[in-house]
Each structure stands twice: as structure tokens, then as C-alpha cells.
């Protein structure tokens, strides 16, 4: 990872200003998995239920992620609901900053909703569940 890329958590009061700059890349990430809806993601971020994270080099946004803290019956879980960007090798290590934040918030687990290909690059994550699908069309 390049030292010139930094993780920025967008303060909720600035989310409406930043959202238009990253909505397309998050929308593309959501389309790839079809596991959520971009409007729900936008609602969570803009209403302050979720957070928007940026990987920025100071002049440009290289990646954006959205997170949501959810309470299961047993744990508080930080879910990365969408993650999209360019130059992944420059910002992938920044996920550790989100993990530290989640732990400080009391989260016991991280979850990523994403493509199966993420398992090749996120070696500290394991597949814990499987989503199976059958087309009815």
C-alpha cells in the first residue's frame, strides 16, 4: 500500500455533500453482488445509521466503502455493505482502520457483502455462510 493513501471516515453531517462523489462506484459494487439496493445503502449513510469511508490520496478518492453496525442475537457486527474503487493494492490495507474503529465501537465481528473473489485477497476473512440462489425465470 502506498503511504500516500489515507482512510477517511466521512462525518455524518458531511455525508450528503460527499455522497454524489462516490455513489456511482458504490452502485457498481452493489450491482456486482445484487445483495442489497443502492437506495437502502444511500438511506443508511445519509440518515446517519451507516458510515461512509474513503480511501483518498489527498486530491482524489480512490475507493469508497459503506458500513453499518448491526446487532444480532449474539453480537454487534460491522458490515461493509459496499466497497468499490480503483487501484485496490493502494488502499486494501486501509480496511484495518475500519476494523479498529468497529472494535472500538464494540463490534465482535466484521462482515463483508461482496463477490467471492474477495476471499482471495482478504486472507484474514473466512467464508462462514453461503448464499445459494436459484433462478425462477
State the number of CA atoms in the 13 A half-sphere of 97 facing the CB. 13
| Domains observed in the chain | 6-121 (3.40.630.30)
Q: What is the pLDDT of residues 2-13, one digit of tens each?
A: 458 999 999 999
Percent of the chain with pLDDT over 90: 72
Phi, then psi, of 133 in degrees rounded to 5: -135, 150
Angle at 43 between CA 31 and CA 137, to 5 degrees: 35
Residue of 114, 117, 122, 120 lying closest to 93 (CA atoms): 122
Residue range 86-113: mean pLDDT, rounded = 94
Q: What is the pLDDT of residues 87-98, one digit of tens each?
A: 899 999 999 999
Give the confidence band of 116 by pLDDT, cuts at 50, 70, 90.
confident
What's the CA gap between 28 and 10, in Å, rounded?
Answer: 20
Which grid coordinates are listed for 73?
442475537
Higher pLDDT, 35 or 48: 48
Contacts of 30 (CB under 8 A, 6+ apart): 36, 37, 38, 41, 82
Amino acid at each position: 500500500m502506498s503511504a500516500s493513501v489515507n482512510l477517511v471516515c466521512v462525518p455524518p453531517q458531511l455525508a450528503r455533500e460527499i455522497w454524489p462523489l462516490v455513489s456511482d462506484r458504490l452502485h457498481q459494487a452493489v450491482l456486482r453482488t445484487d445483495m442489497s439496493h443502492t437506495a437502502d445503502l444511500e438511506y443508511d449513510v445519509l440518515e446517519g445509521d451507516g458510515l461512509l469511508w474513503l480511501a483518498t490520496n489527498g486530491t482524489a478518492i480512490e475507493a469508497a466503502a459503506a458500513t453499518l453496525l448491526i446487532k444480532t442475537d449474539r453480537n454487534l457486527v460491522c458490515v461493509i455493505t459496499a466497497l468499490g474503487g480503483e487501484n485496490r493494492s493502494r488502499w486494501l490495507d486501509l480496511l484495518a482502520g475500519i476494523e479498529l474503529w468497529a472494535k472500538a465501537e464494540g463490534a465482535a465481528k466484521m462482515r463483508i457483502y461482496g463477490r467471492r473473489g474477495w476471499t482471495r485477497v482478504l486472507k484474514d476473512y473466512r467464508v462462514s455462510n453461503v448464499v445459494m440462489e436459484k433462478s425462477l425465470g
